[in-house]
Amino acid sequence: MSNPKTYDVVIVGAAAAGLAAGIYAGRDRYKTAILEKDPFPGGQIMLTAHIANFPGHERITGPDLIQKMRNQAEGFGAEILVGQAVTGLRRGDDGVLEVEVESTGSSYRARAVILAPGSQYRQLGVPGETELRQAGRVSYCAVCDGPFYRDKHVLVVGGGNTAVEDAIYLATQFACRVTLIHRRREFRAQRILVEELYETAKTGTLDVKLPYVPKAIVADDTGAAIDHVVLENVETSETESLAVDGVFILVGTVPNTEFLRGTVDMDDRGYIACDPQTLQTSVPGVFVAGDCRAGAAMQLATACADGVLAALQAKEYLRNPQAWTETRAERTPVQGY
């Protein structure tokens, strides 16, 4: 890794938080690189068909919004480098941070780093999930795979915005029947969505079963399709089986922070610890933004806000790095709010 390029700010992750940080850092005329592990920027929000709660946009698709943010970041001079899965972060002898990408043999020197690696869908970990995912009968993305379930019966698992929104989407667009189960009696999703859910249920294409969890996804004799799913009532522990064609697992996300283990402090679930006022991590000059940080609100608007705050704080750090290393390093990072 000879003569790595030096940047003022290296941002890890080109999804909402990373692009927002790139817009601000680039506009401040800092030499900025945004490293993205996937071949395409955007991350989780790319999977959202219609965003209705991003202030200023009554309705926009995830891919369209990402394209606009990408244009803005690049327009202000930030370089977006795709296919760069960061494997290491360390401080060199001269105090400059080094961001390493093993697979491409690249290394980037950075005076400040903003970590915005985001999160990815959470798996349930029930028997049959992996095998039937391989068979294409378990999905984590209703936008991608919903159209394959025209006139079929599908099970949706989850209680947040995505699960409720996508259960409605599947029931009204494709499936002849949708069963939505959630482990609690109350949904975590926004009220407006829950109201719409029960309105849709009146049409007879959607059943809501509470409080249920899936215990196993059972394949048919061919192994290529689902025979039934075993459901358990959380309160009575009674089980029942439900024959479905597909299962959509929409139970939230896990942070993409494994590559940073041992580098920055994290909580026991892998969310990066930070000072909520500055978003600085346990390493001076390294900031965190978006879904991967402890205390994140897991919303598009707050991911963008994090990116902006991290870029502004990185600017303060770049103006006077010594002040941060002396005074803030001794402070214990606050985990979440």
Catalytic residue numbers?
Answer: 141, 144-145
Report if residue 38 touches other proteins, rule: CB under 8 A. Answer: yes
Least spacing, CB of residue 11 vs other proteins, in Å: 19
Choose which of 75, 92, 95, 136 interacts with other proteins (CB under 8 A): 136
**Contact mark string toward other proteins, 239..278, x via CB under 8 A:** -------x--------------------------------
Cβ-proximal residues to 68 (8 Å cutoff; 6+ apart), any chain: none
Nearest to 289 by CA among 19, 105, 87: 19
User: Considering the rule CB under 8 A, would residue 198 count as an interface residue with other proteins?
Assistant: no
Preceding amide of 211 cis, omega within 30: yes
3-state secondary structure the chain: CCCCEEEEEEEECCEHHHHHHHHHHHHCCCCEEEECCCCCCEHHHHHCCCECCECCECCECHHHHHHHHHHHHHHCCCEEECCCCCCEEEECCCCCEEEEECCCCEEEEEEEEEECCCEEECCCCCCCHHHHHHCCCEECCHHHHHHHHCCCEEEEECCCHHHHHHHHHHHHHCCCEEEEECCCCCCCCCHHHHHHHHHHHCCCCEEEECCEEEEEEEECCCCCCEEEEEEEECCCCCEEEECCCEEEECCCEEECCHHHCCCCCECCCCCECCCCCCCECCCCCEEECCCCECCCCCCHHHHHHHHHHHHHHHHHHHHCHHHHHHHCCCCCCCCCC
Stretch that binds other proteins, among 34-42, 68-76, 107-115, 293-301 (CB under 8 A): 34-42
Told to check if 219 binds other proteins by CB under 8 A, we report no
- Choose which of 24, 30, 54, 149 interacts with other proteins (CB under 8 A): 149
Residue showing tokens 């099970």: 155
What's the closest the beta carbon of residue 163 comes to other proteins, in angstroms?
18
Among 81, 124, 135, 194, binds other proteins (CB under 8 A): 135
Please identify, among the stretches 39-47, 258-266, 275-283, 293-301, the one whose residues bind other proteins according to the rule CB under 8 A. 39-47
Tell me how far, at minimum, the Cβ of 139 lies from other proteins, in Å: 5
Site string for other proteins, 48-67 (x = CB under 8 A): -x------------xx----
Query: Of these, 42, 118, 284, 333, which contacts other proteins (CB under 8 A)?
Result: 42
| Closest to other proteins by CB, 247 or 283 | 247
Number of residues that bind other proteins (CB under 8 A): 29
CA dihedral 196, 197, 201, 205 (to 10 degrees): 110
145 interacts with other proteins by CB under 8 A: yes
Window contacting other proteins (CB under 8 A); options: 20-28, 36-44, 89-97, 203-211: 36-44
- 224 contacts other proteins (rule: CB under 8 A): yes
**x-or-dash pattern for other proteins, window 101-120, by CB under 8 A?**
--x-----------------
Is 124 among the residues that bind other proteins (CB under 8 A)?
Answer: no
Stretch that binds other proteins, among 137-145, 164-172, 199-207, 233-241 (CB under 8 A): 137-145
Footprint of other proteins on 274-303 (CB under 8 A): none
- Count Cβ atoms below 10 Å from residue 332 Cβ, excluding itself: 9
Q: Which residues bind other proteins (CB under 8 A)?
A: 38-40, 42, 46-47, 49, 62-63, 82-83, 103, 133-139, 141, 143-145, 147-149, 224-225, 246
